[in-house]
Amino acid sequence: MLTSKEQSSVTPSIPHKLEEHATHSPSNKLAQALSSPHQEFSDLANPLLIGLSGPSSSGKTTLARQLKRILPNTSILYQDDFYLEDSQIPCEVETHQVQDWDCVEALDISALRDALSHLKEHGNIPQLKSIQNQNTVGSGGEIESAIIDELRKHVLETVPSMKERRIVIVDGFLLFANNTKHLMSMFDIKLFLRTSFSDAKTRRESRTGYVTLEGFWEDPPFYVDDIVWPNYVKEHAFLFKNGDVEGDFDEDVCKSIGIKGMPKNCSNDVVRLVRWAVKSITEYIEDPKNGTGNPSSGPDS
């Protein structure tokens, strides 16, 4: 498990699966949110969807929140807000017989897809009570205001049309996985972060736990080694040469599905990471055909 979410003048119909998800998820009142008027950004159609994925504790939420400070008209939708209820989380039975919060089956992927479809069709997203907003992220993720201002100015000067477009960043650890490939076509821009096993383990184990729909979850001592990381490798090895998730991206595979992989020199450098992401986004908007899928393109220094 890794670590929200307006309305046109005519209320759109609520997708059946999305309504069902709202009925069964106390914290995610999706149906109510979709049927409640919300004026912010209501005149901005054709939203730009940015998928931001990668392993647990790779810096996705930190990056999403910094991008929200830079990009105009931006909201964040968290995949973590589509977890099933606690009692429905599957158990890992081969070794430890504990709940597995880091597998596809722990998420209501159908409800997430319905939310993304609704967003693309109507240009708005539900106002959710986000459990992710109640969880902490790692320290050291805030960038000084001068850099944020510089990047915001650069974005607006480079792509003035962004002022007129709604942007939604979707933050999730299973957006481009083996078992969620059907989600990939929903995103205009696909950014994939990377981290080493040792860094992921250190960051994840430094967290006190996670707010869930019905309570609170703390990782057992073995959780990263035996559940989190093996799940990540299983779902994402196809993006890397020889399946080595700590090695180089398979550029042919990434380009074929439009994924931009984070350069290694962005690891543990949030400023460099944000600059790379901003460059990737502006390049796409300037030229959608050539602005994605080149993992080796690094950030400006």
Question: What's the CA gap between 280 and 290, in Å, rounded?
Answer: 10
Residue 282's pLDDT band, with cuts at 50, 70 and 90, is very high
End-to-end CA distance of the chain: 33
pLDDT digits (tens, 9 = 90+) for 128-163: 566 555 555 555 568 999 999 999 999 999 999 888
Q: Which of 43, 80, 86, 114 is catalytic?
A: 80
Whether 292 and 284 have beta carbons less than 8 Å apart is answered as yes
pLDDT at 93 over 90: no
Identify the pLDDT of residue 300.
43
Identify the pLDDT of residue 174.
97
∠ CA 39-41-46, nearest 5°, is 130
Q: Could you tell me whether strands 210-211 and 216-217 are parallel, antiparallel, or unpaired per DSSP bridges?
A: antiparallel
Rounding to the nearest 10 degrees, give the CA dihedral for residues 20, 25, 29, 35: 0
Give me the amino acid identity at 144: E
Question: What are the strands, taking DSSP E only, across the chain?
Answer: 48-53, 74-78, 91-92, 98-99, 167-171, 189-192, 210-211, 216-217, 259-261
Percent of the chain with pLDDT over 90: 59
Identify the pLDDT of residue 207.
80
Q: Summarize the confidence of residues 50-74 as an average pLDDT.
A: 96
Q: Summarize the confidence of residues 246-256 as an average pLDDT.
A: 97
Contacts of 157 by beta carbon, 8 Å cutoff, 6+ apart: none
C-alpha distances in angstroms, 43 versus 6, 39, 73, 260? 10, 8, 11, 30
pLDDT digits (tens, 9 = 90+) for 109-121: 999 999 998 888 8
Give me the amino acid identity at 290: N
∠ CA 297-300-301, nearest 5°, is 125
Question: What's the CA gap between 137 and 88, in Å, rounded?
Answer: 25
Is the sign of the CA dihedral 175, 177, 181, 184 positive or negative?
positive
Residue 29 backbone phi and psi in degrees, to 5: -80, 65
In order of their start, the domains of the chain are 16-286 (3.40.50.300)
H-type alpha helices, 3-94: 16-24, 30-34, 60-70
pLDDT at 51 over 70: yes
Identify the pLDDT of residue 126.
59
Residue 286 backbone phi and psi in degrees, to 5: -70, -35
- When mean pLDDT is compared across 13-22, 102-111, 112-121, 235-244, the lowest value belongs to 13-22
Active site residue 80: yes
**β-bridge partners, 83:** 107
Residue 80's pLDDT band, with cuts at 50, 70 and 90, is very high
C-alpha distances in angstroms, 52 versus 58, 100, 174? 11, 22, 10
* 3-class DSSP state of 169: strand
pLDDT at 215 over 50: yes
Identify the pLDDT of residue 217.
77
Q: Summarize the confidence of residues 166-186 as an average pLDDT.
A: 95
* 3-class DSSP state of 24: helix
Decide which of 173 and 162 is more confident.
173
Q: Summarize the confidence of residues 47-51 as an average pLDDT.
A: 94
Identify the pLDDT of residue 30.
47
Average pLDDT of the chain to the nearest whole number: 81
Residue 195: which H helix or E strand, with range?
none
Whether 61 and 1 have beta carbons less than 8 Å apart is answered as no
Identify the pLDDT of residue 137.
54
pLDDT at 198 over 60: yes
